[in-house]
Amino acid sequence: MVTARLALCRPVIGDIPALLDLHRDPLACAHNPSDALADREAAISRYIEWDRCWRVFGHGYRTVRFLDDPTVIGFCGLKPSRVAGVPVLNLFYRFFPAHWGRGAASEAAAASVRWGAERMPRLPVVARIRPANTASRRVALRAGLVHVPHARTSGPDGPEDLYAPPPGGPLTPF
C-alpha cells in the first residue's frame, strides 16, 4: 500500500531489528507496556505472529517507511479481532518517537482504515486506545474514527476507549 509519502508493506524477516528497537523504546510503549519486547527472541515471536496473520488472512500489520527512505519509521495496519463479541478489524499503529508529530501515523492509519472499508466492508475498523494516550486518540480521529463513549473495553494494560466508524455509517456495531 502506498500513500502520498509512505510505503506500507508486509513485514519481512529483515524488519525484526526495527520491530525490536521500536518495542524496546519506553516512549513508544509508554501507554501499552505489555507490548514491550525484551529481546530478539521476543521480536522473532512477534514477527511470526504477525506473519501468521498475513498467511491466514492475507493482510495484517505493515512496516511503514517514507517513500524516499528505506528506514523503518513504524508499523501500522489491521488484523482480525473481536470487541464485545463483534468481529472487527483492529487498527494498530506505533511509530518511532523521532517520527512523531510529522503526520506519518495519521497518514498510515487513514490509509489502513480506507483499505479495510474497501477490501473488507463487512468488518468495522476499530482502535482500542488507553484513555491517557491523547496522541493516539488524535490519530484515530484523523483516520476517520470517532470515540464510542459507551463501549470502553479492558486490555492487558487496563481500560481502553473504543474508536469506530461514525454513527450512521455503514458499519456502526457499537
State how far Cα 134 lies from the chain centre: 15
Where in the chain are the domains?
Answer: 6-164
CA distance 149 to 169: 17
What local confidence, expressed as pLDDT, does residue 167 receive?
80
CA distances from 85 to 6, 22, 66, 129 (A): 33, 31, 36, 18
Q: What is the DSSP string of 84-120?
A: TTEEEEEEEEEE-GGGTTSSHHHHHHHHHHHHHHHH-
What fold characterizes domain 6-164? Aminopeptidase (3.40.630)
Beta sheet of 158-164, edge-to-edge order: 6-9, 61-66, 72-83, 86-95, 125-129, 158-164, 146-155
What local confidence, expressed as pLDDT, does residue 169 receive?
57
Residue type (1 letter), 160: E
What local confidence, expressed as pLDDT, does residue 11 receive?
99
Tell me the three cell numbers of residue 165.
466508524
What local confidence, expressed as pLDDT, does residue 172 receive?
55
Which residues in the chain show pLDDT less than 70?
168-174
CA distances from 158 to 25, 52, 125, 153 (A): 20, 27, 21, 9
What local confidence, expressed as pLDDT, does residue 173 receive?
57
